[in-house]
Chains A and B, each alone.
Chain A
Amino acid sequence: MIGPPADSGSRAAVRTLQGSARAAHYEVFDPRFDPEPAYWSRLRATAGLYADWSWAALAAQAWAARTPQYVTVLHADDGPCGVVWAAWVGPPTRRHRFALTTRGGRIGGLDVRAPNNASAPGWWFADGTGQRLLTDYAPAMRDRLGGGSRLLLARQLGDTDAAAVSAPLRIVRPTEPISMLDTASFESVEHWQSELRATRRRSLTQIERTVDDDPHLEVRTGPMADTDAGEVATLLRHNAEKHHDVPIVPLPMFTGYLEHLLRQPDVVGVRYVDPVSGALRALALILDHPQWPVIRSWSTLPLHRGGRRNLYFDMYTQAVRFALASGKKGIVLGKKMTELKRTFGARTVAQHAALVPLH
C-alpha cells in the first residue's frame, strides 16, 4: 500500500526560504497525493508550460513512474515566480517496477526534466535565470528532503544556462540537440517548401499527392478529446518499441495518462485515419503553445496492419500547415534524426546536462 508522506498534514509542504534574493517561500507537491493548487492553471499559462504539465496529467504520470516525482513552486511576494519538476532517483529504483514508496529511499538525487517530454526544460523561472536551480530550488529541496539529496541533474540547459551553472565540482556535458523549425517567415506551406532542397520539395509534394489520392486515408488535424486513448496508446507503442537504444528506456505513455492528456484543449493531433472505420493509421501528437508548439510523439501502424509509407514525412507538412494557420513562431521538432530534420529547414539548438553535487 502506498500512502501519502507522513509529514504532509496539508499535503504540500510550505516553507520559508532563507537568504534568497527573490523567492520568499516554496511549496513541494507530490502530484500523487496533493490536489491541484488553486493557482496552477494561471501559473501554467504564465509560464507557457505544455499540456503535460496539467495537474491531472501530472498525477497520472507520477503514479505510473518508476520514481517519486515532485513539483516545486517558488513564490515571491507577488505570486509564483518559479516552478520545477523533478524525479527523485534513489537506490530502491527498479527498472521494471513502479515507485513503491512515497519517498524512494533516504539517499538519492533530483533529476530535473520536463514530465514525459525530452524537448523542453523541466523548470520555469519568472526572470528566466537557470541559475535559480542552484540558488533557490536546490536549497528548498534539501530542506524538504533532507541531507540525503546529494545530486542535482538538470537537463535541457541551453548554452546560456549551462554557462551560468556555477558550482564547485559541477559536470556539464553536451547532450543531443533539439531541432526547431522557424515558420513565422513563411506565408504558406508552398512558400516553406520552396525554401527546401529540390529533392526534398519534390518528395514532399509527391507524398502529399499520394495521401490525397488514397481513398482509405484522411488527414485530420485538431483537438484529441474525442479520441479513444486506448487506440492512441496502442498506436504509439509501435514507435516506442523502436527506440530502445538508450541505457534506461523511458516508459511509454499509458492509456490512463493519455486519457488525461488528450482531454487538454492544448493538445493537437495530426491524425491519419480510415475515413470509413475511423481507425487510426498514424498519429502525431502536438503539444500546443502560443509560440512554439512541440511535436511530442509520432507513430504509425506497420504496413501489414494498415500503415502507409512516408506518412512520417507528410506529418511535417501538416505540422507546418498547423503552425502557419495558428500564427506560431515555429515548431519544436524534438531530438534525434537531426540531419533529416535539417532537410525540412530546421535548425539545431545545443542542449546540455549539468550534474551538480549538493552540499
Chain B
Amino acid sequence: MRAWATFRRNHGIPCTNPVTAVAHCSAMWNSLAFRLWRAAYLRAVSSAFATVPLYRETWALHGRTDPVLVPGKTGSNGGALPADGVHRRLVDTAPLAGGSTEPDPARGLAGLLTRATHRPSHRLVVIVDSDVTRPPTGLPRGSRGCVLHPDAATAAGDEPVIREVVDTLRRGERVLTVGEGKDLDALTAALPAQLPPPDRVPHHRIDRPGTGPFGLLHDPLLGYLGVLRECGRLHVDHWHVYVRETAGGLAFTVLDRTSPRLVDVLIGGGVPGEVHACPKHGSPVIET
C-alpha cells in the first residue's frame, strides 16, 4: 500500500481519503502492478545508461532525475529528450552490442488492436500514414498487415493495397483501417459504394487528442503508445510503454525494444500532462 500511496502522491492522483483508497478493490493489485511497471522502467534507464551512447552522454554530461545517475547532475526536464532531438541522434540509439537505428512507427499496434476495436481480429489491417513505411508485425494468426500512403488512398483502383481492401471486403471479411481521421475518410470514399465500409481506428496525437469513441495514441518515432478505451480515457500500453511526468511534459519510454532504445522521449514537442490510475480499469491513463 505504501508503494501505491507513493505512486499516487508522485503522480498527483486526487485520492485524499485513505479509506476509499483501501476499499478500492483494485488498489492492492495496482500496487504490485505499478511497482513492476516502475521496475521495468528503471531497468530500461539503467540499461540505456550502461550501453546506449545517446543516454550515456546526455545523462552523464547534463544529468537526469528520478533516478539521478550522476550525483549533482539533474539536467533539464528530468533528463527527458525532445523527439526531434532523438531523431537527429538516432545513430546513437543503438546499444554498443549493435542493433537497428531505424524507428518502427508501427511498433505496438498488434497488442492494442483488440482493445481498440473490441474484436479479436481482422483479416486485413491497413495503416494509412505517411510516417509508417513497414507493415505492422505480430498481428493475430490469420490477419495480414499493410501500409498505404495517404496520397495513394485517393488513387482508387490502381493501388494494390486498395485492390486488396476491395477484394477482402467483397469476400465478406473484415478490414481495419488505422490512421489520421481525414486519411481514413479519403480511403473510405475511394472504395466502391456498394461495399460495407471498413472498420476504422483513428490516430490520436498527444498534442491533438481526438474525442473517440475509438482511437490509438500514436507517435511517428515511438509507434503506438496507448488506446482510448470505453471509459473515455487514454490508456497507456503499460506492458510495453512507460510514461513519466517531467517539467518538459509527458516523457515516454518504450520498454520492450532495445534498439533503437527510446527512453524518456518528449513527444509532440513536450505536452504537459498527468499519469493517473483509471478508476474503472486500474491501469495507468494519461490526461493532457
A231 to B87, CA, bound (A): 11
A-side contacts of B54, CB under 8 Å: 254-256
Cβ–Cβ < 8 Å partners of A228 in chain B: 88
Contact with A along B27-56 (1 / 0, CB 8 A): 000000000000000000000011101101
How far, in whole Å, are A256 and B75 apart by their CA atoms in the complex? 15
A58-66, A149-157, A167-175, A218-226 - the one binding chain B: A58-66
A255–B90 Cα gap in the complex (Å)? 10
A98 x B51 contact (CB < 8 A) = yes
Contact B60 A32 (CB under 8 A): yes
Given contacts A2-B69, A2-B70, A96-B96, contact A63 B60 (CB under 8 A): yes
Q: How many residues of A contact B (CB 8 A)?
A: 25
Find chain A residues with CB under 8 A from B69 CB.
1-2
Closest CB in chain A relative to B47 CB, distance in Å: 10
A230 within 8 A of B: yes
Provide the bound-state CA to CA distance between A254 and B67, in Å. Answer: 24
Q: Tell me if B68 and A1 are in contact (CB < 8 A).
A: yes
In contact, A254 and B53 (Cβ under 8 angstroms):
yes
Q: Are B91 and A60 in contact (CB under 8 A)?
A: no
CB nearest neighbor in A for B53: A254
| Interface size, B (range) | 20 to 34
- CB-CB < 8 A to B90: which residues of A? 234
Provide the A1-26 mask, 1 if CB < 8 A to any CB of B, else 0: 11110000000000000000000000
B81-111 vs A, Cβ < 8 Å mask (1 yes, 0 no): 0000000111110011100000000000000
Name the CB-closest residue of A to B57: A256
- Tell me the bound Cα distance from A3 to B69 in angstroms: 8
- CB contacts (< 8 Å) of B65 on chain A: these are none
Interface flags for B189-208 (1: CB within 8 Å of A; 0: not) read: 00000000000000000000
Residues of A within 8 A of B53 (CB): 64, 254-256
Of A2, A95, A97, A234, which one neighbours B91 at CB under 8 angstroms? A234
Residue of A at shortest CB range from B46? A1
Give complex CA distance A63, B58 in Å.
10
Q: Which of B61, B89, B96 contacts A60 (CB 8 A)?
A: B61
Q: Is B71 an interface residue (CB 8 A)?
A: yes
**Complex Cα–Cα for A96 and B96 (A):** 5
B57 touches A254 (CB 8 A): yes
Task: Give A308 to B158 CA distance when docked, in angstroms.
Answer: 37
CB distance from A6 to the nearest CB of B (A): 12
Q: Given A1-B68, A1-B71, A2-B70, decide whether A97 and B51 contact each other with a Cβ distance below 8 A.
A: yes
Decide yes or no: A64 and B56 within 8 Å by CB, A96-B51, A233-B89, A237-B91 being known contacts.
yes
| B71 CB, nearest partner CB in chain A, Å | 5
Least Cβ distance of B45 to chain A in Å? 11
Closest CB of chain A to B107's CB: distance in Å?
A: 22
Contact indicator A230/B96 (Cβ below 8 Å): no
Cα A262 to Cα B276 in complex, Å, equals 44
Contacts of A59 in B (CB 8 A): 61
A5, B49: Cα distance in complex, Å: 19
Cα A63 to Cα B54 in complex, Å, equals 11
Distance between Cα atoms of A257 and B92 in the complex (Å): 11
Task: Give A41 to B97 CA distance when docked, in angstroms.
Answer: 36
**Which A residues between 50 and 95 are near B, CB-CB below 8 angstroms?**
59-60, 63-64, 95
Task: Say yes or no: A230-B60 contact (C-beta < 8 A), given A1-B70, A2-B69, A255-B54.
Answer: no
The distance in angstroms between the C-alpha atoms of A269 and B47, with both chains bound, is: 34
Which residues of chain A have C-beta atoms less than 8 A from B51's C-beta? 96-98
Contact A255 B70 (CB under 8 A): no
Nearest A residue to B47 by beta-carbon distance? Answer: A97
Residue with the highest number of chain A CB atoms closer than 10 Å, among B89, B92, B95? B92
Q: Tell me whether A251 is interfacial, beta carbon within 8 Å.
A: yes
- Residue interface mask B208-229, A partner, CB < 8 A = 1: 0000000000000000000000
Q: Cα distance A233–B91 when bound, in Å?
A: 7
Closest Cβ of chain B to A314, distance in Å, is 25
Interface residues as binary, B138-169 with A (CB distance below 8 Å gives 1, 0 otherwise): 00000000000000000000000000000000
Instruction: Please tell me if A100 contacts chain B, counting CB pairs below 8 Å.
Output: yes
Please state if A255 and B61 are interface contacts (CB–CB under 8 Å). Answer: no
Which B residues fall within an 8 A CB radius of A?
49-51, 53-54, 56-58, 60-61, 67-71, 88-92, 95-97
Please list 7 pairs of residues, one from A and one from B, whose beta carbons are closer than 8 Å in the complex, sorted by A's number: A1-B70, A4-B71, A64-B57, A97-B51, A234-B90, A251-B96, A254-B54
Having A237-B91, A255-B89, A256-B92, one finds 10 other A-B pairs with CB under 8 Å, namely: A1-B71, A2-B70, A96-B96, A97-B50, A98-B49, A98-B50, A98-B96, A251-B96, A255-B53, A257-B57
